């Protein structure tokens, strides 16, 4: 129950921050253009909180349903406007000002992402150094020339201080269906340049987190005791009785060497009841654990139980790296990261439209809530990174030329600019109906994907 409450709170906090920033963009630019604001709402439905501020008596509202928001402006299309206030009505503003007001929401989402990544890089990102433990025989990596103990130093000329950075650059290569140049150095410091063609890697399999396995490399990890950290709500681990701080000592009589060994034993037993010996607060106990079943993009079924490791149990720090920068450099990194993630989001969206990537990659509110809770538990840096990615996704989604979204209004303004007169109301009303169908269909598909993920 506590985990569920944490998930709900993290979800509301994440969406509340992002929606407020988005709507504030519309509000701020509208005020600068001298448009009268009637309502500023975060959330829909029954008001949980309502206050009136400013000389315009603007109503500020927090709605019961935190899945969006809106800024309601004075507009002659929505009712009678007093003659003395007609100049402050949104519909009477020049095309350039209306465009700026509508575009401000998505633009502020991009600005938020830049600021979030700036803080991330200023605080510092901790991760594993990109050192290779093993290279699978006959794999893509072996054919490219990778060897055990190689450290990846750069990809396409961009430094890779951690595996996170390396994987992000490899992901971009997969999406672009292109080859990448990878710089590596061995234990003696000798450097080599390798080329890996990523065009053959399926996007869906990569999206499931199998990229390194598809390449045929295994990261070199510090020895981590099999101590449970995070336990997902309603996961197989929670149902079996696993709790934070449990040390796994044996599975079906086989002693567990470390966390990686524990993961391998779970992956190899989808749907198979396991006898798990646990040490908890100095006491030994036996639990029956049945891993859930999960299909990978390679057609393999693996076991999963919904638990994470306890990062505090990592004692070997030699393989850890901290990527941190002074404030001005961190800001430039934040801008670059936002641009990169925007292009990746657009490319994935394009692949889904063309059929090269499955629509199952769409995530709905349940998945967002789960990720919000997981990243919040992992610390402020991870949570900020999550907020940045979602903020970019919201900006891109809102810029799609779908009626009811900001992009739909901008599309109407583009037509108005070309033809010299506004789009007629009948056409706009038809567009709204089409937009409602599209948005409900998109949301329904995302929720359906969430249900499939919950069902394993």
Give catalytic residue positions: 23
Beta-carbon contacts of residue 308 (< 8 Å; ≥ 6 apart):
228, 229, 230, 231, 232, 374
Please count the other Cβ atoms lying within 10 Å of the Cβ belonging to residue 160: 24
CB 277 within 8 A of CB 250: yes
Angle at 82 between CA 78 and CA 86, to 5 degrees: 75
CB 125 within 8 A of CB 322: yes
Checking DSSP bridges between strand 158-159 and strand 37-53, what pairing results, if any? unpaired
Give CA–CA dist 89/34, Å, rounded.
9
> What region, left, alpha or beta, does residue 404 occupy, with left being phi > 0 and alpha being psi -120 to 50 degrees?
left
Quick one: tokens of 222? 């510090």
Quick one: tokens of 419? 């033809």
Beta-carbon contacts of residue 350 (< 8 Å; ≥ 6 apart):
none
Give CA–CA dist 194/184, Å, rounded.
8
Quick one: tokens of 305? 């139980």
Q: What is the DSSP string of 147-204?
A: -TT-EEEEETTEE-SSHHHHHHHHHHHHHHT-EEEEEEE-TT--EEEEEEE-TTS-HH
CB 380 within 8 A of CB 125: no
Give CA–CA dist 123/201, Å, rounded.
34
CB 411 within 8 A of CB 399: no
Backbone φ and ψ for 43, nearest 5 degrees, come out as 100, 165
- Sign of CA pseudo-dihedral 187, 193, 197, 202: positive
Quick one: tokens of 24? 């504030």
């Amino acid at each position: 129950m506590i985990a569920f409450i944490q998930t709900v709170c993290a979800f509301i906090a994440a969406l509340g921050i992002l929606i407020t920033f988005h709507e504030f963009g519309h509000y701020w630019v509208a005020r600068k253009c001298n448009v009268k604001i009637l309502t500023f709402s975060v959330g829909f439905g029954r008001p949980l909180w309502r206050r009136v501020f400013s000389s315009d008596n603007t109503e500020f509202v927090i709605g019961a349903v935190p899945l969006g928001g809106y800024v309601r402006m004075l507009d002659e299309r929505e009712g009678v406007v007093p003659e003395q206030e007609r100049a402050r009505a949104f519909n009477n503003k020049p095309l350039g000002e209306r465009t700026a007001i509508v575009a401000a929401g998505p633009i502020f989402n991009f600005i938020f992402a830049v600021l979030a990544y700036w803080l991330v890089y200023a605080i510092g990102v901790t991760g594993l150094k990109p050192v290779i433990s093993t290279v699978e025989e006959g794999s893509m990596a072996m054919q490219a020339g990778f060897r055990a103990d190689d450290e990846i130093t750069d990809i396409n000329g961009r430094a890779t201080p951690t595996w996170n950075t390396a994987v992000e650059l490899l992901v971009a290569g997969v999406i672009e269906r292109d080859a990448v140049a990878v710089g590596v150095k061995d234990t003696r410091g000798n450097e080599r340049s390798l080329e890996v063609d990523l065009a053959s890697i399926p996007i869906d399999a990569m999206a499931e987190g199998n990229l390194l396995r598809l390449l045929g490399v295994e990261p070199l990890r510090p020895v981590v005791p099999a101590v449970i950290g995070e336990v997902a709500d309603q996961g197989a681990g929670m149902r079996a009785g696993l709790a934070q701080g449990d040390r796994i000592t044996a599975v079906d009589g086989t002693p567990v060497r470390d966390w990686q060994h524990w993961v391998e034993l779970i992956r190899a037993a989808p749907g198979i009841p396991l006898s798990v010996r646990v040490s908890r607060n100095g006491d030994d106990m036996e639990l029956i654990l049945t891993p859930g079943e999960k299909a990978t993009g390679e057609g393999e079924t693996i076991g999963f139980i919904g638990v994470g490791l306890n990062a505090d149990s990592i004692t070997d720090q030699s393989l850890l790296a901290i990527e941190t920068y002074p404030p001005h450099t961190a800001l430039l990194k934040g801008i670059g990261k936002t641009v990169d993630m925007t292009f990746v989001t657009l490319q994935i969206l394009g692949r889904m439209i063309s059929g090269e990537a499955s629509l199952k990659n769409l995530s709905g509110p349940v998945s967002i809530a789960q990720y919000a809770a997981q990243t919040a538990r992992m610390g402020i840096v991870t949570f900020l990174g999550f907020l940045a990615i979602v903020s970019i996704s919201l900006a891109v989604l809102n810029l799609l030329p779908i009626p009811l979204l900001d992009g739909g209004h901008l599309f109407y303004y583009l037509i108005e600019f070309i033809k010299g007169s506004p789009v007629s109301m009948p056409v706009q009303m038809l567009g709204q109906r089409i937009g409602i169908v599209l948005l409900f269909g998109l949301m329904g598909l995302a929720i359906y994907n969430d249900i499939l993920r919950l069902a394993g």
